[in-house]
Structure 1
Amino acid sequence: MNKSEVEKYATPYKLGRPVLTGSGMKGRFDSLAVDVPFVFFHRGRFYMTYVGFDGDGYQTALAVSDNLLDWSFQGVILGREDSDRWDRIGAAGTWILKQSNDLYELPQLKKINDRYWMVYHSYPSPGYEEGAAEIGLAWCEDENLLEWHKLAEPVFTWKDGDDWEKGGLYKACLIEHEDKFYLFYNAKNLTHGAWAEQTGAAVSQNLLEWTRFDHNPILQISVRQWDSKFVSDPYICRDGDLWLNFYFGFDGVHAQEGLAFSADLLHWRKHDRPILESGYIGSLDEIHAHKASILYYNDVLYHFYTAVRPYQDGDRTGKELHSFRTITVATSKPVE
């Protein structure tokens, strides 16, 4: 894939300000940070699921917008539970099954058995991503998308995986194609220390029983390159016969957005350079520009992502983490 063919997916116009920020309020689910946007269109409005961090774990919330730039909190939809469940620490919702995988169609939700389905992951211990996470499913019949029900057990786990994923599972992307469900996920080889994150795939007929692709990981790290440590957080969509994976790469210093291409969803080729780079010193994404959610609307490609820079006096969140982590957007054309 040469540079000219990649340019159609470029979003060089960074908004430069957050579209969603954590509350900074003790006791709130998002007191320390927000992360991992997933943007879609539902009943005439734009919605975003996103993750909040409060020091103990992740919880998932819903926001709404009429213009894609100004967002209003609606409620926590996957919260913490006082129980002995496997996901009692919290649940990081990352994807809801969509009607279409087409890049140029507004992403709208699809029901299976009269229910919407969300994929999430959960860590076993309190703290920042403590322990090896597993993946679960939650369902919703409520058209306001505020009442979600989590299945009792994980549907996908590192416990029966290969060495590259034994450290736990991260963000998953769930799509349907030709009467099969595909789960794309990133995982790490170690729970602690200098781990590597790479991306794998699994296939299912029923959302509950998954078979890993024989040649996982399908996207691997590259030695001494911008994605030498992580190849993570897949966002899969389709442009004609070409499948796209907006992922992020990490070299130990900066996380930046990349793009990979496939004809069959299982064999992928990466573009050799980031398509959305971390920013200049002092910018919103000085440290990281990563974790994509992609939407095309009114002839503009919107690339939502998590931006990270060092904490500054006056930031609502981030002092405890020594970095300000927020959600922003870059676009193919100026929008503000």
Structure 2
Amino acid sequence: MKQKTIILALLPFFICCFSLRSKAQQYLDGRPSTSLRLECQDEGVVLRHGNGADSCDTFGAREAVLNKDGNKYYLFYDGAGKDGWKACLAESDDLKQWSKKGAILALGDSGKMDSKSASSPWIIKSDGIWHMFYLGTPHTSPAPDRIPAFPYLTMKAQAKSIEGPWVKQYDVTPFVEKANSFYTVTSSPGFIVKVNGEFLQFFSGASQDANETKRTLGFARTKNLNGSWDIDTKPLFPPTEQVENSSVFFDDATKTWYLFTNHIGITKENGEYTDAIWVFWTKDIYHWNEKNKAVVLDKSNCTWAKGAIGMPTVIKVGNKLAMLYDGVEGNSTSHMGRDIGLAWMQLPLKISGN
């Protein structure tokens, strides 16, 4: 009788644990989800929009891309300013206190493919030169928001210093969108790494029909950063995964590659929006399995953003992995009014629920 009483008393605990391990977000259109999670501790907002030089981020700060050169951190982010979205720069010694430097890219002249937005830059240093691959588009929504609209294109700039000045290279076309592919309306830049003598870029690809937009990531390859890139025919993940943007980390301790990306969710009330940060993992950088994925950050463990949670960028700091990301304070799912937050993960990374 005593044993039965103990079992009955513990039953709610076992039910609760089982629910936490097995429950996955359900989307109204049936797009894939996962019940796995990567342990992550959110610290909150570290860079707020609104006070950038020359009104460069008056309407929002988002799309964080983090780099380190020497002992200083350099954060490129999209500032939604008075004349459009442009890449801006902020600098820090500790990832928490940031000094804003203003816009580093100007909008292109009328007729240029970056005439409405020059944003979301990913960089890599090679032979003493910093190479930048940024998002350009000739289309946006009306003022004052000026949200970039398809097509999202990859464009090129370079500099001798990470701080700039950055010189656009309109004569370089890294890659373009392609009909009847997974990147018909989006072929925008992503994380770049050099492996086996070639550069790999985890670029964002999207296709669109009358009913929906499908988003995924693909591989672009080159040995010449000032030349064209070859794109693999198949994407890393099925477009039904609905992920975009990338930040990749290699864990030396476990010999595992981790790809952090923002997931696009959907609700009846809000339609599609960036609802969470996901991570995929593999031992082989050239081969990824969509089943190996987990939620990193969503409304359940983010301390301030309970609606839109956007693009992640990660970097190793001591025995932890730091992640910057954008979001909107409260329940809003808007593209506008975003700030940038900081979260931490203990190394080696731990996936729970499997």
Query: Does 1:210 find its partner at 2:229?
Result: yes
Tell me the amino acid that sits aligned with residue 14 of structure 1.
D
Aligned to 1:48: 75
Aligned to 2:280: 260
Tell me the amino acid that sits aligned with residue 126 of structure 1.
T
Contact 2:64 / 2:77 at 8 angstroms: preserved in 1? Answer: yes
Farther-moved stretch of structure 1 (150-159 vs 230-239)? 150-159
Relative to structure 1, the CA distance from residue 67 to residue 25 in structure 2 (aligned partners, 3 Å threshold; closer, same or farther) is: closer
Aligned to 1:244: 258
Unaligned runs of 5+ in 1: 4-8, 98-109, 313-317
The CA RMSD measured in Å over matched residues stands at 2.9
- Aligned to 2:182, the other structure's residue is in SS state helix
Report how far residue 304 of structure 1 moved.
Answer: 0.9
Query: Does 1:296 find its partner at 2:316?
Result: yes
Percent of pairs with identical residues: 19
Aligned length: 296
Contact 2:117 / 2:148 at 8 angstroms: preserved in 1? Answer: no
Tell me the amino acid that sits aligned with residue 67 of structure 2.
F
Contact 1:311 / 1:322 at 8 angstroms: preserved in 2? Answer: no
Aligned to 1:13: 41
Aligned to 1:94: 121
> TM-score normalized by structure 1?
0.78
Q: Could you say which structure has the larger radius of gyration? A: 2
- Aligned to 2:297, the other structure's residue is in SS state coil
Contact 2:249 / 2:315 at 8 angstroms: preserved in 1? Answer: no
Query: Does 1:138 find its partner at 2:153?
Result: no
CA distance in 1, matches of 2:51, 2:102: 16
Tell me the amino acid that sits aligned with residue 290 of structure 1.
G
Farther-moved stretch of structure 1 (168-177 vs 187-196)? 187-196
Relative to structure 1, the CA distance from residue 287 to residue 262 in structure 2 (aligned partners, 3 Å threshold; closer, same or farther) is: same
CA distance in 2, matches of 1:237, 1:203: 18
Match of 2:305 among 268, 273, 285: 285
- Aligned to 2:312, the other structure's residue is in SS state strand
Write the deviation string for residues 8-35 of structure 1: whole angstroms up to 9, x where unpaired. x94532112x211221789722121111
Query: Does 1:111 find its partner at 2:126?
Result: yes
> TM-score normalized by structure 2?
0.74
Alignment of 1:26-175 (within 5 A): 28-54=55-81, 57-97=84-124, 110-112=125-127, 114-127=128-141, 128-142=147-161, 145-153=163-171, 155-160=173-178, 162-175=180-193
Aligned to 1:275: 296
Contact 2:112 / 2:138 at 8 angstroms: preserved in 1? Answer: no
Contact 2:325 / 2:342 at 8 angstroms: preserved in 1? Answer: yes
Unaligned runs of 5+ in 2: 1-20, 22-36, 142-146, 268-273, 347-354
Relative to structure 1, the CA distance from residue 191 to residue 43 in structure 2 (aligned partners, 3 Å threshold; closer, same or farther) is: farther
CA distance in 2, matches of 1:63, 1:26: 11
